[in-house]
Structure 1
């Protein structure tokens, strides 16, 4: 998660991105990392499926915003 925080700061400060654009761009990946962490920790299936389910609408929102 530290790498994603560094990437966020870089996108906003160096890249000149708006906060909303940077958050929408990074959110699906964050959700997939949370799902991966749950899978590697041996959590129940719903703790893996829920972040994956949330990542898809976030991805669609990012695509819609950049069209």
Structure 2
């Protein structure tokens, strides 16, 4: 069984999720979704994963807080874009 403690302590668990998000972005783009929609959909999650990665590797608090704080306005932009399409 793999050493899950090392996977999380190294931050590679967050890296794995970032790779999954990148693959999802490629799939959505190839399916014809507009790039801006894909970016606004997946960027908040990617920002949170970067914050998680920073926390897992013991980075100082600004490196944790910055991507977490950045995810909120992008999420709001996604909500506004979706709401304006109705």
CA distance in 2, matches of 1:52, 1:26: 14
Q: Given the alignment, which residue of 13, 29, 33 partners 2:30?
A: 13
Displacement of 1:20 in angstroms is: 0.5
Structure 1 gaps of 5+ residues are: none
CA distance in 2, matches of 1:27, 1:2: 13
Larger-Rg structure: 2
Q: How many residues align?
A: 66
**Is residue 56 of structure 1 aligned with residue 72 of structure 2?**
yes
CA distance in 2, matches of 1:59, 1:33: 14
TM-score, reference length from structure 2: 0.73
Other-structure match for 2:14: none
Displacement of 1:12 in angstroms is: 1.4
Structure 2 gaps of 5+ residues are: 1-17
TM-score, reference length from structure 1: 0.93
Other-structure match for 2:13: none
